[in-house]
């Protein structure tokens, strides 16, 4: 008993004493940067806001009070100086992905969480030709089929109060599953997001995908932002108490296992899909992906082609409904291109609708689907960011939401104003600093697919329906898991007057 007590005391002393000693020794000279509350001492300040999905608010308040460079964890410096975007994420930057991505990875890394440059480069060779604009446009008919299914589902619910965010999630899951596996989840036909997951022994069980994914991402983001030792403890503790978050993470992985297994066992279909392309090395001399890696990449296919797009669709439609004059102007533009009954507009045709693109781009600026400062780590020799030398091994980030709303870059930055995209004075900063899909070699691989779906769906919905917000006076909440998801968004759709 005495030994157990001594071990407990030693553990507490280590957990409390080591951060304090590290803080005052300050080997990396990070105390020169201001920190909110106890953020310079412990990860707990940041983890609290990760767990409550309000990190973006805490980061905004910290920078508003303390300035453009803030220490938000003992080894994490956040920058809102616009120069940080290129310094941290730009092409040629020596700054790499941090151990956040190792913390959230499973047995196999996927293209999004691979930290090793060579491994990421190999994976990106597989992925880049899949998500190129040419390849996605070659599969536009698959998107059209799912868009028609979405319209059918909306027509069946005219005049009803519906959570459009949920229905956009069903559409994006159906679209990416069709593109990835050759057949759809058929969530739109079912009217819900229930599908099967697979245990290691081959048995299956039902799950609800949208909530499962969101719970899993909350857990992963919370665990990922802790330092490795604390991250391992969190994983052990949550597993020991049988947390629903751990179950959600396992369930989503089991669903990916089921979908990958079913697709591979069925053999090639009539057309090439994303998973079949991943099974084929992009060129000679590259080894095929093992099955476990294919399962990991299945998860990123479903993520890259789903959650951020559904968020972008919801935010854009909500902002248009909140700004009737903007919506009227957009409809006037679309009326020159689309018949009222057109439900599968050609993307190339919609390229001739610059105001549509401005409405979407402005939504992505004001409410980016990823608002977080994506964590990176300085190389061993250190790096200079915004004129400040940061020693090696320090996590750094530049929160996208703060840059997108930076008052030195944009006029009235908190206002939804698509007209700013036609202002020659604002356009250079918009092109340089509005980066909802990040920049550089680690930018989002699904951005071409996202823009095609955003363009086609928004054009179809505003052309076909009147959109009434059920809660006109309320702001649409934002929930930061890893992605920035809008809260439930209830609307009533009715046929647009001819």
Instruction: For residues 268 and 223, give the distance between their C-alpha atoms in angstroms, rounded to a whole number.
Output: 38
Beta-bridge mates of residue 492: 161, 468
**pLDDT at residue 437, as a whole number:** 86
Question: Which CATH code fits 99-350+443-495?
Answer: 1.10.630.10
CA distances from 487 to 187, 207, 313, 422, 480 (A): 20, 21, 13, 30, 10
Q: What beta strand segments (E) does 297-382 contain?
A: 376-377
Instruction: For residues 403 and 60, give the distance between their C-alpha atoms in angstroms, rounded to a whole number.
Output: 11
Instruction: For residues 84 and 385, give the distance between their C-alpha atoms in angstroms, rounded to a whole number.
Output: 6
Local confidence pLDDT in tens for the 498 residues of the chain: 666 655 555 555 555 566 777 776 778 899 999 999 999 999 889 989 988 999 999 999 999 999 999 999 999 999 999 999 999 999 888 898 887 777 776 666 776 767 777 777 777 777 777 788 888 888 899 999 999 999 999 999 999 999 999 999 999 999 999 988 888 999 999 999 999 999 988 999 999 999 999 998 888 888 777 777 777 777 777 766 567 878 888 898 899 889 888 888 887 666 678 888 877 776 766 777 788 888 888 887 887 778 899 999 999 999 999 999 999 999 999 999 999 889 999 999 999 999 999 999 999 999 999 998 899 999 999 999 999 999 999 999 999 999 999 999 999 999 999 999 999 999 999 999 999 988 776 677 788 899 999 999 999 999 999 999 999 888 999 999 888 999 999 999 999 986
Cβ atoms within 10 Å, residue 161: 12
Closest CA to 451 of 459, 462, 439: 459
Cβ atoms within 10 Å, residue 363: 26
Is 444 labeled as ligand-binding? yes
CA distances from 388 to 7, 374, 409 (A): 42, 19, 21
CA distances from 45 to 72, 76, 216, 291 (A): 8, 12, 21, 39
Those residues whose C-beta lies under 8 Å from the C-beta of residue 62, and which sit 6 or more positions away, are 36, 39, 70, 72, 78
Instruction: For residues 419 and 425, give the distance between their C-alpha atoms in angstroms, rounded to a whole number.
Output: 12
**pLDDT at residue 318, as a whole number:** 98
Task: Return the domain boundaries, the chain.
Answer: 99-350+443-495
CA distances from 428 to 82, 363, 422, 423 (A): 13, 18, 11, 9
Which helix (DSSP H) or strand (DSSP E) does residue 12 occupy? helix 2-25
Closest CA to 390 of 59, 81, 19: 81
Those residues whose C-beta lies under 8 Å from the C-beta of residue 113, and which sit 6 or more positions away, are 97, 101, 102, 104, 105
CA distances from 103 to 54, 96, 97, 165 (A): 21, 15, 12, 29
């Amino acid at each position: 008993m005495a030994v157990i007590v001594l071990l407990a005391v030693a553990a507490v002393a280590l957990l409390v004493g080591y951060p304090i000693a590290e803080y005052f020794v300050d080997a990396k000279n990070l105390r020169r940067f201001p920190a909110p509350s106890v953020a310079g001492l412990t990860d707990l300040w940041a983890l609290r806001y990760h767990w409550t999905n309000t990190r973006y608010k805490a980061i905004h308040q910290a920078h508003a009070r303390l300035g453009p460079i803030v220490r938000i964890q003992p080894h994490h410096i956040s920058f809102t100086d616009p120069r940080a975007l290129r310094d941290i994420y730009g092409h040629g930057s020596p700054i790499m992905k941090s151990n956040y991505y190792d913390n959230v990875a499973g047995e196999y890394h996927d293209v999004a969480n691979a930290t090793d440059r060579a491994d990421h480069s190999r994976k990106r060779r597989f992925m880049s030709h899949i998500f190129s604009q040419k390849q996605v446009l070659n599969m536009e008919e698959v998107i059209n089929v799912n868009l028609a299914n979405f319209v059918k589902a909306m027509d069946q619910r005219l005049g009803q109060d519906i959570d459009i965010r949920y229905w956009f999630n069903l559409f994006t899951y159906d679209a990416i599953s069709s593109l990835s596996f050759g057949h759809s989840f058929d969530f739109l036909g079912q009217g819900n997001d229930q599908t099967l997951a697979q245990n290691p022994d081959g048995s299956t069980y039902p799950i609800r995908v949208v909530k499962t994914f969101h719970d899993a991402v909350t857990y992963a983001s919370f665990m990922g932002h802790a330092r490795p030792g604390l991250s391992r403890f969190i994983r052990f503790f949550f597993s020991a108490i049988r947390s629903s978050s751990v179950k959600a993470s396992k369930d989503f992985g089991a669903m990916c296992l089921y979908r990958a297994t079913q697709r591979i066992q069925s053999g090639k279909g009539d057309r090439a899909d994303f998973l079949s392309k991943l099974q084929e090395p992009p060129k000679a001399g590259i080894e095929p992906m093992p099955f476990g890696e294919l399962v990991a990449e299945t998860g990123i296919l479903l993520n890259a082609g789903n959650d951020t797009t559904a968020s972008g669709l919801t935010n854009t439609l909500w902002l248009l409904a909140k700004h009737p004059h903007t919506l009227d102007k957009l409809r006037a533009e679309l009326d020159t291109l689309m018949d009222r009954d057109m439900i599968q507009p050609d993307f190339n045709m919609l390229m001739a609708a610059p105001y549509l693109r401005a409405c979407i781009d402005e939504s992505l600026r004001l409410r980016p689907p990823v608002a977080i400062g994506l964590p990176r780590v300085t190389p061993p020799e250190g790096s200079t960011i915004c004129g400040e030398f940061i020693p090696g091994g320090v996590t750094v980030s530049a929160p996208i939401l703060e840059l997108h709303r930076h008052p030195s870059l944009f006029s009235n930055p908190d206002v939804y104003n698509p007209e700013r995209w036609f202002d020659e004075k604002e356009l250079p900063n918009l092109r340089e600093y509005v980066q909802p899909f990040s920049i550089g070699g680690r930018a989002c691989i699904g951005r071409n697919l996202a823009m095609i779906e955003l363009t086609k769906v928004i054009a179809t919905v505003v052309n076909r329906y009147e959109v009434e917000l059920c809660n006109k006076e309320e702001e649409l909440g934002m929930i930061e898991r890893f992605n920035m998801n809008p809260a439930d968004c209830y609307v009533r759709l009715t046929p647009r007057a001819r």
